[in-house]
Structure 1
Amino acid sequence: MLTSTQPETGQLMGSLPYVKVGDGPKTLLVIPGLGDTMFDGSYGRVGAWLARRTWRRYGETYTVYVVSRPRGLADGRTIRGMAADYARVLENRLESASVLGISMGGLIAQELAFGRPDLVDRLVVAVSGCRLSEEGARIVKRLQWYALERDWTEIRATLFEEMYTGRKQRVFPTLARSAGRVRPPNPADPEDVLVSIDAVLEYDGTDHLGEIEPRTLVIGGTDDPFFPEEILRETHERLPDAQLAMFRDARHGAFLERKEGFDNWVLQFLEGEEVRISQR
């Protein structure tokens, strides 16, 4: 059943923009990726509509909170520091919840589960892993250069190139560059983009994966340039209680391009069903 509840938007604890979808009895915290830094920090009608469209299948069982990072991140803020912000949100506002982190959000979610396992019921690491691949690091360093040049349009276009496959991989970057000439992305604080890129490049959670207590689903695409099959498998193997699901020939946008399968696997996992090591 699809939720008909209208999304709620605002700021949690006065600084973290959020949009709430659904009214189910359980709570799901969604931590977004690097693109979170690329908007002005206010979920307007379009943002609320996109969130409702993306998470509507979850809305009968879950109240879904998509929570952004604060605008104006301090220079030098690490993934662990960002995870501490989400721990405070759970502790003070949402209590314990299942947590789904996407891309950079998956790094933050791992640190959250490592540092505060008491707040995380189940953990989903989506199109993410314990560290970037070498190819992924090269791409992110290119994004870093664009950020230094304040070329937000090229960051978005490059991300589209790495997310999609087939015709979308050709068309979406072109559309992003065309739209960017008319209405480029508008980060609330340009330094947030650089701080976030630095945090991703520096992160390596390999050493403490074995200490993450909540049961975890690692899910992504085999051809993801940032977190490819070998990183997904390494992350899964080092976690003490984890399942692995992979989409064959999918890239960093597997959660969008293979959305029906992604949602099926995630919901099965969140509801306690077995998701065996598998590929589609």
Structure 2
Amino acid sequence: MGSADAVLKPLTVESDTGELPGGHPYVRAGSGSRSLVILPGFGDAMFPGTYPPLSGLALAPYVARYLDEYAVYLLSRPRGLPAGYDADDAVATHARALESIGDASDAVDVIGISMGGLIGQALAREEPDLVDRLVLANSACRLDDDARPTVRQFERDAREHDWASIRSKLAAAMFTDGRAVVYPFVFQTAGRVFQPRPAEPADVWRSLEFILGFDGCDELGSIDRPTLVFGGERDPFFTPALARKTAAELPNGELELVPGAKHGAFHERKWRFDSRVRSFFER
């Protein structure tokens, strides 16, 4: 494909937005014969909960390397998560959403980012017929113990509705370039006025409680779906040791660790991430 085609294709791609069964807001880009579902991290809870009609045009360039074959869905979690939201709750609603995507008899490929990777594991374990291949992007079987105080601080910030502090601390943990300095400054200044607010503030701390409570390490052997664990060697939340453990204990696990990268390896090193994921999906 020529460079001009690569630029033009996302601008003409089919897209839509809406809500899937289980109360999941979504945006879709592409109309390929296969379905790829992206499950976002906990920051998904910090936006209003609906996608504007043209959101697919914004998503298309970001997922352009998949659009030749896939319809790509960014699948948000429902707004108004119940108290005590856990893996069983997540599986129950996500399974309904995945069943509604395309032909219900076909499994979908799934990329789970951070918290989305925890949910992806639970889905692949409990509803294996719905998941074909799974990518855990900056995720592992549980949160690292040393990261728990940071996540508890996020939870305290959330209860005080201090979204700017959460975003700024998360940016510092994600990036290794100038964004690690610029983004926190922007979030703490202009971001306090212009950044979107959560539709349901409780969804933010309930998402963080989910992360703190999730531990799938003893159940990795029950996930028979081919799974790629992709992470950064400086990720403070899902550390290299946990990534290695996760990949090693999965029956069909593979590992890719990016030297120097942190919790945003899937985004900051996106060319490498997309190349590795496409290769994994095509085998």
Q: TM-score range by the shorter chain?
A: over 0.9
Map 1:12-91; keep pairs closer than 5 Å.
12-13=20-21, 15-44=23-52, 47-91=55-99
State the alpha-carbon separation in 1 of the partners of residues 185 and 54 from structure 2. Answer: 21
Asked if 1:218 is matched to 2:229, the reply is: yes
Shift of 1:151: 0.4
Residue equivalent to 1:10: 18
Residue equivalent to 2:143: 132
Distance 1:159 1:241, change over 3 A: same
Asked if 1:240 is matched to 2:251, the reply is: yes
State the alpha-carbon separation in 1 of the partners of residues 194 and 100 from structure 2. Answer: 37
Shift of 1:14: 6.9
**Paired positions, count:** 272
Map 1:75-154; keep pairs closer than 5 Å.
75-94=83-102, 95=104, 96-154=107-165
| Counterpart residue identity of residue 67, structure 1 | L
| Counterpart residue identity of residue 12, structure 1 | L
4+ long deviations beyond 6 Å:
none
Shift of 1:59: 0.8
Extract unaligned runs of 5+ from structure 2: none
| Counterpart residue identity of residue 75, structure 1 | A
Q: Deviations over 1:30-67 (max 9, x none)?
A: 11110110000111267434422211211111111111
Shift of 1:178: 1.8
Shift of 1:221: 0.5
The alignment yields a C-alpha RMSD, in angstroms, of: 1.5
Of the three residues 165, 168, 181, the one matched with 2:192 is 181
State the alpha-carbon separation in 1 of the partners of residues 263 and 229 from structure 2. Answer: 13
More displaced 10-residue stretch of structure 1: 39-48 or 237-246: 39-48
Q: Percent identity?
A: 43
Q: TM-score, normalised by structure 2?
A: 0.92
Shift of 1:182: 2.2
| Counterpart residue identity of residue 45, structure 2 | T
State the alpha-carbon separation in 1 of the partners of residues 101 and 36 from structure 2. Answer: 13
More displaced 10-residue stretch of structure 1: 257-266 or 167-176: 167-176
More displaced 10-residue stretch of structure 1: 15-24 or 43-52: 43-52
More displaced 10-residue stretch of structure 1: 4-13 or 230-239: 4-13
State the alpha-carbon separation in 1 of the partners of residues 92 and 59 from structure 2. Answer: 24
Shift of 1:240: 0.5
Extract unaligned runs of 5+ from structure 1: 273-280
Asked if 1:172 is matched to 2:180, the reply is: no
| Counterpart residue identity of residue 108, structure 1 | I
Conserved? CA contact 1:146–1:152, under 8 Å = yes
Residue equivalent to 1:275: none
More displaced 10-residue stretch of structure 1: 222-231 or 91-100: 91-100
| Counterpart residue identity of residue 211, structure 1 | S
| Counterpart residue identity of residue 17, structure 1 | P
Conserved? CA contact 2:22–2:96, under 8 Å = no
Q: SS at the partner of 1:44?
A: coil
Residue equivalent to 2:239: 228
Q: TM-score, normalised by structure 1?
A: 0.93
Asked if 1:261 is matched to 2:261, the reply is: no
| Counterpart residue identity of residue 136, structure 2 | V
Conserved? CA contact 1:163–1:169, under 8 Å = yes
